[in-house]
Amino acid sequence: MGEFPRGLSAFSLEGKKALVTGGNRGLGYAFTRALADCGATVAFVGRGGAANEAATGRLAGDGIDAYGISADLTVDDDVDRAVDAAVEALGGLDIVVNNAGICFHNPAWDATDDQWRQVFDLNVRAVWKVSLATGRHLRAAGGGAIVNIGSISGLIVNRPQAQAPYNASKAAVHQLTKSLAAEWAPHHIRVNAVAPGYVKTEMAPVDRPELRRMWIEDAPQQRYAMPEEIAPTVVYLCSPAAAFVTGAVLVIDGGYTVY
Ligand code: NDP
């Protein structure tokens, strides 16, 4: 091992090649932009061609040349095609952020088989399939970093809304993170997760008055986060600064889970 980088250079992603799933909006968009801001070349995946184009346009406005890939990660062929496209566009791969996810709010009695399938196909199975497909490239390249987006929902049960399949899926993401971290450490692949609290995106209606008491006022900081506040932690986990960090689930929730 050479000399450990000093100061801010420990957080630099200069020369790294990164793939973010679900990068056309919300948290994934913030992750894509932050990774690029810190030196990485970036590709992202989303199903919507128009949404992907809009995102590449917004990123171009910030001077970021991102490569958008249209793919549905619940379809195995799409996973392989998306990963191949990213590797070809970027000329390799060092960083993978498994961010794409979906959630339904309804009591367990009313949750349909199809909702369960959609949640587990994307939140868990796609993380597994993308990790395997990209992990082979990282292993061949001598190592890399994977960050999975878990949730406080993998640690606590959210209130007042019921979302049992989602909560179970995020607990699975946390344990899959630890399992792959253990298996892939000999290949110099670090696998970590972040577990955000409430963040303002299309998925989380943080401004709804009926949710305010339990989503906002119950948290020590008494607020939700913006996606940009979660992104630096993802950058950190991908960077040399986190060289000794693997199998971690880093909670970023304004203190929500302390109670
Ligand atoms: P959004 O709904 O805003 O974004 C979801 C992203 O995933 C979009 O880019 C969407 O693009 C993409 N996506 C959805 N389905 C698929 C699919 N089948 N294949 C490929 N891409 C897909 O969600 P958030 O930004 O809020 O959430 C991002 C992650 O963060 C999720 O894993 C979520 O569980 C997690 N999280 C969110 C929290 C929050 O409060 N917002 C809190 C804790 C965790 P498209 O529709 O074009 O495919």
Asked if the structure places residue 8 within a domain, the reply is no
pLDDT mean over 133-152: 98
> How many Cβ atoms sit within 10 Å of the Cβ of residue 196?
25
Asked if the structure places residue 145 within a domain, the reply is yes
Beta strand ranges found along 79-229 (DSSP E): 95-98, 144-149, 189-196
For residue 32, what is the enclosing H or E element? helix 26-37
Report the separation in Å between the CA atom of 122 and the middle of ligand 1, taken as the mean of its atom positions. Answer: 9
Asked if the structure places residue 121 within a domain, the reply is yes
Report the separation in Å between the CA atom of 255 and the middle of ligand 1, taken as the mean of its atom positions. Answer: 23
Asked if the structure places residue 5 within a domain, the reply is no
Asked if the structure places residue 4 within a domain, the reply is no
Q: Are the CB atoms for 231 and 99 separated by under 8 Å?
A: no
Question: Does the beta carbon of 187 lie inside 6 Å of ligand 1?
Answer: no
Distance CA 21, CA 43 (A): 9
Question: Does the beta carbon of 45 lie inside 6 Å of ligand 1?
Answer: yes
What is the phi/psi pair of residue 220, to 5°? -50, -40
For residue 172, what is the enclosing H or E element? helix 164-184
Asked if the structure places residue 2 within a domain, the reply is no
What is the phi/psi pair of residue 216, to 5°? -105, -55
Report the separation in Å between the CA atom of 5 and the middle of ligand 1, taken as the mean of its atom positions. Answer: 33
Pocket test for ligand 1, best of 131, 147, 201, 252 (most atoms within 8 A of CB): 201
Asked if the structure places residue 120 within a domain, the reply is yes
Distance CA 105, CA 159 (A): 11
For residue 62, the model assigns a pLDDT of 96
Domain count, the chain: 1
Amino acid in position 140: A
For residue 2, the model assigns a pLDDT of 77
Per-residue model confidence as pLDDT tens digits over 150-193: 999 999 999 999 999 999 999 999 999 999 999 999 999 999 99
Handedness of CA 98, 27, 223, 241 (dihedral sign): positive
For residue 126, the model assigns a pLDDT of 99
* Residue whose C-alpha is closest to residue 73's, from 152, 142, 149: 149
Amino acid in position 69: I
Question: Does the beta carbon of 72 lie inside 6 Å of ligand 1?
Answer: yes
Here the CATH number for the domain that contains residue 194 is 3.40.50.720
Residues that are catalytic: 166
pLDDT mean over 15-44: 98
| Domain that residue 44 falls in | 15-252
pLDDT mean over 89-114: 98
Pocket test for ligand 1, best of 20, 45, 99 (most atoms within 8 A of CB): 99
Residue with tokens 């910030």, as numbered in its chain = 62
Hey, what are 157's tokens?
Answer: 């049960």
For residue 1, the model assigns a pLDDT of 63
Q: Flag whether pLDDT at 32 surpasses 90.
A: yes
- Residue 123 CA, closest ligand 1 atom number: 32
Asked if the structure places residue 165 within a domain, the reply is yes
